[in-house]
Copies of this chain bind each other. A is one copy, B any other.
């Protein structure tokens, strides 16, 4: 290692990014979609036939394609990932006053969707190896704070029932689901995966989102595939899958002309025109995943010799979609994070830090939490870098 490489500098990080990324005169975003497939054809078909809205063949096909790809029994397409989480929680029986365990290191949607049920987020720590919920630390914590009652697992301090845990597969990297599932089973806590970021990510060969009764996907514009705005409820319970469809389509009772609704429902259905986009995008998913893996491989190689910072690679036993590539500063250089963000964004390369930890936000500041020292450390040190599929090449596996 030569002397130039022996000390950390934000400039050296920028240099490496510039060596991997294409030279561009315009701002390079964190993640932009590619529409090189049948998007045009399918969307045009919607316009030509007039089927753009709440009913249409692309919704049915998108749901079937997603169920087949992820291996779940039923997929229900909705307006976005937040709506998908909301319905997962409702169907899992999360009630007002319950607590739902989730990482403090997550996007706001996870916590908001719990709030819509009148339930209370309860924040847990993450681990360095996956960037997601630390199942071992969680198990110890639950041993300390819970007691089993006839109607579930209760937080002895708050007196509230702990109904579910929502691991979020951060930037597409799977949480360590085996020990987490074991903990859930032991404590009678429902596992609901927030797989918003992990379409195309597998844990021990099985798709993320296929490990509990419910999971949520997202197809926001910045995701691996996009429907404009969209999300999906994945479930392995066919009855609850039917109920998810019912609940997301205003709970209307089928009839040739009558308008009857049998419960308070939601208008969460994905429009057909958005599903058309989704069908075309899903066809290209294998190519996107290969290209993103190629890009991640190039980043990994390029950052291998750089001191003070490391490229985050998929956890052992998992295959990640590398949705958002991630650099992690050594603790000693955490103070340089904002300088690095400034320098790279000024240079036209979009980078961003992790989300502000949920327990720091004013509306969740009083929610229960365990020690979150690892999440706090990660928050100080993580930086996402450009990750669009179009930046990777070919279908070569990295």
Contact = CB atoms under 8 A, between A and B. Distances in A.
Interface string A249-270: 0111000111111111111011
Given A52-B226, A108-B251, A257-B352, 17 more contacts: A53-B222, A53-B229, A81-B267, A82-B267, A107-B259, A108-B250, A108-B259, A108-B261, A109-B267, A112-B266, A118-B118, A228-B272, A228-B274, A257-B341, A257-B345, A262-B361, A273-B274
A218 to B, nearest CB: 9
Interface in A26-40: 32-35, 39-40
A50 interface: yes
A118 B118 CA distance: 10
5 contacts: A34-B50, A54-B220, A79-B267, A112-B264, A229-B269
A52 B79 contact: no
Contacts of A80: 79, 267
Contacts of A107: 259
Contacts of A345: 256-257
A345 B255 CA distance: 13
A76 to B, nearest CB: 15
Interface of A: 32-35, 39-40, 43-44, 46-48, 50-55, 79-83, 107-109, 112, 115-116, 118, 220-222, 226-229, 250-252, 256-267, 269-274, 277, 341, 345, 351-356, 361-363
A32 B271 CA distance: 15
Nearest to A39: B47
A53 B80 CA distance: 11
Contacts of A220: 53-54
A53 B257 contact: no
A112 B272 contact: no
Nearest to A250: B108
